[in-house]
Amino acid sequence: MKTPLVGRMTSFANAHPDIENVEVEYKQTWFVYVQKPGESDIKKLTGVHDIQPIIPCCNEKCHDGGLNIEEIISIMADSKKAELVDQTRQCMGHEGRNAYDSCPNHFKYSIRITYKKDKKS
């Protein structure tokens, strides 16, 4: 796996030179199967210059939360996977002082990657 972008002074494009374009669609919900309180609209990130390492959690009580999208894309890029559709992951944060009180937010997401074509001499 490539060196993660988090904590590094580099751009996403420099960290992933083989990726031409990335499209990320995501939505946050408070619980996996409940889609009323706390539901947000679908958001889109497009292009290698628009990708941020962590998509922040919208829960005001959440600490150190979000979705580590750069890690997911790095794993996809290592195996040259082009698409990941309708995935769900719990926020990596916690509420309150106790790190064991997991944030109830979930991220529903899809990722599409276009790779640069190999130039053959």
The mean pLDDT value for 9-27 works out to 85
Consecutive H or E run containing 72: helix 69-78
Residue 36 is predicted with a pLDDT of 53
- Position 67 pLDDT exceeds 90: yes
Asked if residues 45 and 23 have their Cβ atoms less than 8 Å apart, the reply is: yes
Say which residue, 75 or 98, is predicted with more confidence. 75
Residue 51 is predicted with a pLDDT of 81
pLDDT band at 61 (very low <50, low <70, confident <90, very high): confident
What pTM value is reported for the model?
0.78
Residue 19 is predicted with a pLDDT of 92
| Distance, C-alpha 43 to centroid of its chain | 12
